[in-house]
Amino acid sequence: MILSLLVALLAKEEVAVIGVGFGVALALQRRWWPSAIVIAGSVIAFVATLKLIIPAFADGAPYQYLGRYASLGRDEAEIARTLLLDPLRARSARK
């Protein structure tokens, strides 16, 4: 599973979010160390992709799809905070 996740991370930036889900699934199975490694690695990969890799290839421009989530926050951290602390607001923002 971890090898598949690593290969998928090379193709699409959103896969890191799915990796967090894999980590949660591992935690529900009480596999603490693999869970912690997958979650931490996924978060690091997501932040590195959005803050370093994408801007490097876009001549310093920010992540172009961030505007889709403007109703949830001004930046990635605020959007993540909203998703964790107020998931109903995120659900209503889809409409």
Q: What is the pTM of this model?
A: 0.70
pLDDT in tens, the chain (95 residues): 778 877 888 888 788 888 888 899 999 999 999 999 999 998 888 888 888 888 888 887 767 777 777 788 888 788 888 877 887 877 776 55
Residue labelled with tokens 């603490």: 32
pLDDT at 88: 80
The most distant pair of C-alpha atoms in the chain lies apart, rounded to whole Å, by 43
pLDDT at 33: 93
DSSP 1: -
DSSP string, 52-74: IIHHHHTTTPPPTTGGGGGGG-S
